Structure 1
Amino acid sequence: MKLNKSGQFTALIFLSVTGFSAQAAEVWSESFETDGQGTRYTSTPEFTDGGGDYWLRTDGVGLPISAGAYSGYVGTYFWAAEDVDGEGGTAEPELNVTGIDISGVSGLSFSGLFAAGHKGGPGASKYDSTDFMKVQYQIDGGGYLDGVCFNYEPGTDTSPITNEPIGLDADCDGESDGVAGRLNATLTEYGFAIAGTGTTLDIKVIVSVNAGDEELAFDYLVLSGDMGDVPPTVSSTVPNDGAVGVAENTSITINFSEAIDATASAVTMTCSTSAGVSFSSGLPATAVSQLVLTPASTLVDGETCDVTVVDTEITDVDGTPDAMVANYDFSFL
């Protein structure tokens, strides 16, 4: 599935608006499109039994999701979990990102896409009082704080509380806030503002689900902030650089660090068989942080395509217009 972020339903909830900047630019992101284990992130060891016990980066193929399948994730891959202590797994596995450079950045905020594979109502779902998913963060090693949490939705059960929905727990008190933030199989955006700044920031995602049909997923983790008037950069692309097996009818998605203007000549694409490929839609564009470009013709199976984002044809829209400092090139097959 190829979904662009601007085309999906957004339910971004800031738990605190202190210091949030309307001019926020993307400082860091992780979309799991390539395997970043040990380089961009580290996690509790991934595993799967091929059925209902797993903790792993996945394209969703073969996952026994109660709702049928996840949707709303960005690109092809995301992270998923079910019965994480099965098959010798860890009861509360973590995914950690450390050392994100936030020097000179103010108005920090985090967002991510989150989902639950089982979507029954009160008394008819699968999540218990011990199940949760949460994002924590720390600045300059000062100790982790809760950012956004998802917990069971209290019903009429008395202890033990079982078989309830799971949803947004804005104050991270161990109980969800009700129907409005209830998770389902469509990955939906939630986030929080981060007070203060420093030199480095660490993020971790922790999950606890210990039985079959207790299914959770997350994707496209983003840290944003106000970096002042600096030149725009390309933060990520879909397909990513070096991707193989890309569909012949693929669109080209380019994410930028901030809102930009792009001329009609801002992106070029040359393929080994198709030669020069033009775009039927997506350019020019004004005040966007993402370009979604549709090739004017279907690509040829097996050909290599080289894409260039032209530095002089991209300028930011905050303060004094700044162009990119260099071309950005990526290729796919």
Structure 2
Amino acid sequence: MKKLFTLLLFCVASFASAQILDETFDSNANFTTSDPFFSDGFGDFFGLSGGVDDYNGEPVPTFIKPYTGFSGGFLTGMDLDGEGATLPISIEWTGVAIDGFGSLMFSGQFAEAFDAPGDIDQADFLLIEYQIDGGGYQNLLSFVGGDFSSTTNNGFFKEDTDFDGIGDGANLGDAAATFTKAIVGVGSALDLRMTISVNSGDEDFAVDSFSITGTAVVDDTPPVVTCPSPIVQDNDAGVCGAIVTFMDATATDDTDPNPTVTQTGGPLSGTLFPVGDTEVSYTAIDAAGNESLCTFTITVADAEAPVIACPDPITMDNDTGVCGAIVTYDAPIVTDNCPEPTSVQGSLTTLFDGGNTFDGNMFDVNILNDMTVQSFDVNLVDPTGDFEVYYKTGTYLGSETNAADWTLIGSATGVVSLGANTPTPLDLSLDLMLTAGQTYAFYVTSTGATVAYTNGGVAGDVLVSNADLEILEGSGGGYPFGTNFSPRNFNGTIIYESGGFNVQLVDGLASGEEFPVGTTTVTYEVSDAAGNVSMCSFDVVVNDTEAPDVACPDDQLVDVPTGEMFTLPDYSGDVIATDNCAVSVITQSPAAGMMVGAGTTTVIITVTDTAGNEVDCTFDVVVTEVLGITTNDITKINLSPNPASTIVSINATISTIEVFNMLGQKVLETNQNTFDVSSLIQGAYLVKITTDNGQTTKKLTVK
């Protein structure tokens, strides 16, 4: 019959020897057997003797050997397969608690009664084995047959010290002999097994007093816990983070084979980790309560660039009288997978103590952190005033009176003063983005009202500063870009925003500036907190729709000899033409070189600018014929025939003949008094005839 054993555990002081197993064989409560106890009442038996006499209810055998040295009950047997038992028979102790103990030792008493001659043969054995935490049985103590008086039997049980199947140690005898062996290893639970095979009469064994002792160890050494290696991973698309998976930490311990490992910090594997560095920690605890901590870092890099959307393209007409237009547009819209950094409003005030007055001030600022300038407060002395704000990159020095160096970025009209030496807001929305590390200049001026400012020390010295910018000493001056006095200190406040997305104008002109006629491409760049950059562009088209102004010369009065033509000169030099941009072409009709006869000819001047805008003006050329000395001779000259289709003759001695079409173009020239017109197209022509007596012009029809 199999029965479970009861563990006897005696707790002792730290590092002292403690008995973990105490098997006295006074009952069968602590172990199990592969076959139940039995007895035939004579020489076949297996059970407890020594006054206990437990043979599973069967008679006490009569042939128990006369063992000595045992105290109380002991386990014994002889001819173990005599009553049908299966060899070998095993006796087992399972689940012996050894947690917290080291230097384990086994001790037990063993005997075998020798009958002359002995009856132990080569098939007989007694083997003690153990395993820790189910790791597989290992040999602990072995007895095999040896010292045979014949080849195979009539021997003793001898210890097999090297477990090679040959007895090479001490003999067992009638008296109980104690054997002690070290149990190698540590763990939580130990199983002990004794296997016995004796299979004929007078082959016997007896065992008693099995014990296991160990040294109770105070475990103050924490486990060794190993975290995964650091992880670097890009963000998931559209998310300010990433789903990250990782293995759990592992731990080893010198006494506890299975220390508990628990994640004690950071998001769990398979969850969303934010952009940036996140520390994940694990804690390992051994059976003694010792703890160890390890950490590793998961870095989620924001690799996704922000999305920047520029305004739609803008098309507008020029401002009157200007080769361009003031254009305002909305700031680009920026979105990103990570939230926009918080924008913080800031300001820096110089002083409001007056001392001098004029129209306005010029001064430099050094930008320490990226910012967007929005507005200014001023020291307005007059009850009301209109203001303009200009800026430029770099210092104002050298540009005090050069308006072309400056850009107008904002204006405020009807500003009501809050009192002298009191900040008066201009309430602008400039959206002027300035870059850290750069110097910029401002010109904050009224257009005629009186503002107050203060005498300075040295222009360019730092007047006031904070963590974001420095305002330097500057100058005061008249509007616009007039008389300048230096050093003078601006009385006012710069109002700005810092933080948020870093949006910069990298090409083109800012909103509120004058864009030239034509196409200007405006490009903005944005960078997020991780340094990812995106750009967008849009076109601003300013059309020149303004026609030029033109003034023609007065009417022209000219005299020609009777019968002669007047050749029109080029009058463009006498035309006064202006344009908001530039005049490109001046044309005249009739064209210069055209011959006109007596009477009034209207000349049309057309002025075209570079954009194709046209304007006309007109004046008259009045031709009057007067008699000359050679008039009678010249007037007698005739063309024959007229109309003509081939040869035309002139009834005079000529110097030259020139034939012109009605556009004033010369189509034929000769010094003969005959000429051929067959190559000319049909129509009217003017023939200019030059003789020694003068010139005359005749009309010729070619048919």
User: Normalising by the residue count of structure 2, what TM-score does the alignment of the two structures yield?
Assistant: 0.27
1:106-141 CA-to-partner distances (Å, cap 9, x unmatched) read: 001111000002254xxx211000001111100001
* Match status 1:41 vs 2:31: yes
Of residues 136, 140, 143, the one that matches 1:150 is 143
What stretches of structure 1 move > 3 A for 4+ residues in a row? 60-66, 154-158
Q: Could you tell me which residue of structure 1 aligns to residue 66 of structure 2?
A: 69
1:24-63 matches, cutoff 5 A: 24-36=17-29, 40-44=30-34, 45-59=36-50, 63=61
* Match status 1:139 vs 2:132: yes
Would the aligned equivalents of 2:19 and 2:214 in 1 still touch at CA under 8 Å? yes
Q: Could you tell me which residue of structure 1 aligns to residue 104 of structure 2?
A: 108
Would the aligned equivalents of 1:65 and 1:215 in 2 still touch at CA under 8 Å? no
1:244-284 CA-to-partner distances (Å, cap 9, x unmatched) read: xxxxxxxxxxxxxxxxxxxxxxxxxxxxxxxxxxxxxxxxx
Q: Could you tell me which residue of structure 2 aligns to residue 192 of structure 1?
A: 181
1:159-192 CA-to-partner distances (Å, cap 9, x unmatched) read: xx111111211112222115xx111111111021
Query: Aligned letter for 1:69?
Result: P
* Match status 1:210 vs 2:226: no
Determine the C-alpha separation between the residues in 1 that align with 2:180 and 2:163: 13
Q: Could you tell me which residue of structure 1 aligns to residue 251 of structure 2?
A: none
Q: Could you tell me which residue of structure 2 aligns to residue 329 of structure 1?
A: none
Would the aligned equivalents of 1:133 and 1:150 in 2 still touch at CA under 8 Å? yes
Query: Aligned letter for 2:32?
Result: T
Q: Could you tell me which residue of structure 2 aligns to residue 280 of structure 1?
A: none
Would the aligned equivalents of 1:26 and 1:222 in 2 still touch at CA under 8 Å? yes
Determine the C-alpha separation between the residues in 2 that align with 1:113 and 1:54: 20
Of residues 173, 184, 189, the one that matches 2:164 is 173
| Shift in CA distance, 91/71, structure 1 to aligned 2, threshold 3 Å | same
Query: RMSD over aligned Cα, in angstroms?
Result: 2.2
| Shift in CA distance, 105/119, structure 1 to aligned 2, threshold 3 Å | farther
Would the aligned equivalents of 2:147 and 2:155 in 1 still touch at CA under 8 Å? yes
* Match status 1:183 vs 2:183: no
Query: Aligned letter for 1:129?
Result: Q
Would the aligned equivalents of 1:133 and 1:149 in 2 still touch at CA under 8 Å? yes
Determine the C-alpha separation between the residues in 2 that align with 1:83 and 1:138: 28
User: How many correspondences in the alignment?
Assistant: 197
Would the aligned equivalents of 2:27 and 2:48 in 1 still touch at CA under 8 Å? no
Query: Aligned letter for 1:53?
Result: D
Of residues 86, 92, 102, the one that matches 2:88 is 92
Would the aligned equivalents of 1:133 and 1:206 in 2 still touch at CA under 8 Å? yes
Determine the C-alpha separation between the residues in 2 that align with 1:127 and 1:202: 28
> Rg bigger for which structure?
2
Would the aligned equivalents of 2:113 and 2:205 in 1 still touch at CA under 8 Å? yes
Would the aligned equivalents of 1:24 and 1:227 in 2 still touch at CA under 8 Å? yes
Would the aligned equivalents of 2:148 and 2:156 in 1 still touch at CA under 8 Å? no
Post-superposition offset of 1:195: 1.2
Determine the C-alpha separation between the residues in 1 that align with 2:126 and 2:50: 20
Query: Aligned letter for 2:40?
Result: D
| Shift in CA distance, 118/64, structure 1 to aligned 2, threshold 3 Å | farther
Larger RCO (alpha carbons 8 Å, 6+ apart): 1
Post-superposition offset of 1:34: 2.7
Post-superposition offset of 1:84: 0.4
By percentage of residues, which structure has more strand? 2
User: Normalising by the residue count of structure 1, what TM-score does the alignment of the two structures yield?
Assistant: 0.55
Query: Aligned letter for 1:200?
Result: A
Stretches of structure 2 lacking an aligned partner (at least 5 in a row):
1-14, 54-59, 219-703
Determine the C-alpha separation between the residues in 1 that align with 2:61 and 2:109: 18
Q: Could you tell me which residue of structure 2 aligns to residue 126 of structure 1?
A: 119
Determine the C-alpha separation between the residues in 1 that align with 2:63 and 2:157: 15
Q: Identity of counterpart residues, as a percentage?
A: 34
Determine the C-alpha separation between the residues in 2 that align with 1:195 and 1:140: 13
Q: Aligned to 1:87, what secondary structure does the other structure show? A: coil
Stretches of structure 1 lacking an aligned partner (at least 5 in a row):
1-21, 230-333
Post-superposition offset of 1:24: 3.1
- More displaced 10-residue stretch of structure 1: 184-193 or 56-65: 56-65
Determine the C-alpha separation between the residues in 1 that align with 2:165 and 2:208: 22
| Shift in CA distance, 156/164, structure 1 to aligned 2, threshold 3 Å | closer
Q: Aligned to 2:128, what secondary structure does the other structure show? A: strand
Q: Could you tell me which residue of structure 1 aligns to residue 363 of structure 2?
A: none
